[in-house]
Chains A and B, each alone.
Chain A
Amino acid sequence: DQQVKQNSPSLSVQEGRISILNCDYTNSMFDYFLWYKKYPAEGPTFLISISSIKDKNEDGRFTVFLNKSAKHLSLHIVPSQPGDSAVYFCAASVGGGSNYKLTFGKGTLLTVNP
């Protein structure tokens, strides 16, 4: 039973456009959400996070939106750059922090075309 779902295995966008990656979750106990980026042959690297008490968090070109009633979050990348091409994982945790058990989705491969 997948508690964190990323239903799009892949996404392709043009450089300069917006990339929107989506994530749904089923466990209402999740109270902290994160996005990780993973390049081949490297471990996942933290990108941005959001607490369940917020509905938006922004960091430069990256914005995460959380819709608790829909149990849905999304990552917006504007403008997209070729270097953003990677696998993006949505993750969630219980307990208000990000240093405990993370439950990951399967990931979405983002390709940004020059």
Chain B
Amino acid sequence: ETGVTQSPTHLIKTRGQQVTLRCSSQSGHNTVSWYQQALGQGPQFIFQYYREEENGRGNFPPRFSGLQFPNYSSELNVNALELDDSALYLCASSFKTGSYEQYFGPGTRLTVT
């Protein structure tokens, strides 16, 4: 059973650019959530996708968007990057139904200069 994987591991972008981060869910999981973890903070919920539909959103602006594909892999897109977007981006997968824990990937470290 493969775990949650994310790519790339590290990324450096310039303010105003756009970025796409990728996540491959754990086998069989149909739900993916994305979190942003700024330095010294806990992860903050960005949004969740279930069966390719957004299933809830945290307090993030519309320039943060996502996709979930039929194979349950996922993307996080951020447009018009700002310096404050520099953070570790984590994705987590789970089963939708029941009280199943979320399994996190190792994250993508994004630096915006």
Contact = CB atoms under 8 A, between A and B. Distances in A.
Contacts, number: 68
Given A104-B43, A106-B40, A107-B42, A99 B101 contact: yes
B99 A46 contact: no
B57 to A, nearest CB: 9
Interface of A: 4, 6, 32, 34, 36, 41-46, 49, 89, 91, 96-107
Instruction: Classify the secondary structure of B's interface with A.
Output: loop
Given A44-B43, A100-B55, A101-B48, 4 more contacts: A43-B4, A99-B98, A100-B56, A102-B45
**On chain B, which size bracket covers the interface?**
20 to 34
B106 A89 contact: no
A77 B58 CA distance: 32
7 contacts: A98-B94, A99-B94, A99-B95, A99-B101, A102-B33, A102-B102, A104-B44
Tell which of A4, A43, A102, A106 has the most Cβ of chain B within 10 Å.
Answer: A43
Contacts of A98: 94, 99-102
A91 B4 CA distance: 20
Contacts of B40: 106
